[in-house]
Amino acid sequence: MDDLTTLRDLGRDLEHEPPATLARQRNRLLDAAAGVRGRRRVPGWTVLGLAAVLTAVVLAVPSLLLRAGAPINRLDTYEGLASNPAVREAITVLLVGTDGGKGADGASAVSLTLARVTADRKDVTVADLPADLVVGIPRCRTSTGETAARTGVIGGAFATAGMPCLWKTVETITRVRVDHTVEVSSAAFTKLVDELGGVELTLPRAVHDPKSGLRLPAGRSLLDGERALAYIRSGSAPGGDSARARAQRRQQVIGASLKKAADRLTEPARLLSFLRKASGLVTTDAGLTPRMMSDIALETLQAQPPAVHSLTIPVRSGPTGRLELSRPAADRVFRRFADH
């Protein structure tokens, strides 16, 4: 119980003004993009994350827990895109995996996952949006002005105008209210999986990928972070190299991460150690406060491991050969994230 109290106190203490170095970084972002929701850079690559332990989520619940005991990288709100309420019975999170490149802040979105955690913390529903899905991107503010509404790949919203624009785009096309965002880099993903002691997967056949050097036997394998990431990306893994197959493997790793987290982090002392080591590896919106996350951690410690439900968002090849949403089937999936 002392550890639980410590966890709660950590969250409460972190509600105060951040250290001077972080405050200066925040102010530089605000000065550079007056009124724009800024984003602190994550060390290295980036969940769902929540899905993720974390990934691209790496874990739904774990990605929320992750920040409870450490300084937090947060998005600052900007005029025109108000933060959604921090407290709700259920929580819907947009998990974004980034992979370097030339985005608005030096990164490109390579995976997008919606994750919904029920009020009782017993169920997590996740679904992937292909980063190359062609959608209507709304008008968004940037540090230099404003982008026009246009049609383009959804990942382009992040590349040109950052997380605020991606957040707004996802809400527009899905009609799902997103409560919070979590950004996880590939480097962070591998470190988080390693901190969990790896993830265990059962494969229907052996995987030999000459491109990445990944070799996995059929049956059960324990994967460290690097091999888990290589498995998700591998065109030689079950399902092949399609976007849908990669999404399915990502969700497979998410489920395995959740199970491992539930097995390893049920002891408060171990959870606190994990949270401290995970410091600085993810970026969240400002509304995802330390107190809120520590409360979720406590709730999760007292509940059974959540059941993970992986959904497939229906897509089709459009007139130009690019992927687009297959409506109304896609709308039926999105309603699973809106119903409370």
Using alpha carbons, select from 214, 227, 228, 96 the residue that is nearest to residue 162: 96
Is the model's pLDDT at 88 over the cut of 60? no
Q: Which long-range contacts (CB under 8 A, 24 or more apart) does 228-234 make?
A: 228/189, 228/190, 228/193, 228/198, 228/199, 228/201, 228/253, 229/186, 229/189, 229/190, 229/193, 231/201, 231/207, 234/207, 234/209
**Rounded to 5 degrees, what are φ and ψ at 114?**
-90, 130
180 or 72, greater pLDDT: 180
Predicted pLDDT at 306 = 62
Predicted pLDDT at 325 = 95
Q: How far apart are CA 174 and CA 325, in angstroms?
A: 10
Angstrom distances, CA of residue 43 to CA of 69, 208, 278: 18, 31, 11
Q: In a 3-state reduction of DSSP, which class is residue 259? A: helix
pLDDT, tens only, 193-235: 888 889 999 999 999 998 889 999 999 999 998 899 889 888 8
**Rounded to 5 degrees, what are φ and ψ at 210?**
-65, -25
Q: Per the confidence metrics, is the pTM higher than 0.75? A: no
Is the model's pLDDT at 173 over the cut of 90? yes
Q: How far apart are CA 126 and CA 145, in angstroms?
A: 34
Q: Looking at residues 151-168, what average pLDDT do you find?
A: 89
Which of the given ranges, 51-60, 108-117, 288-297, has the highest pLDDT on average? Answer: 108-117
Is the model's pLDDT at 277 over the cut of 50? yes
Predicted pLDDT at 215 = 93
pLDDT, tens only, 90-117: 888 888 887 654 445 555 677 788 888 8
Bridge partner list, 215: 208
pLDDT, tens only, 18-51: 334 333 333 333 333 333 333 333 222 223 333 3
Predicted pLDDT at 305 = 59
Q: List, in order of start, the domains of the chain with CATH numbers.
A: 2-196+242-247+259-338 (3.30.420.590)
**Rounded to 5 degrees, what are φ and ψ at 87?**
-115, 120
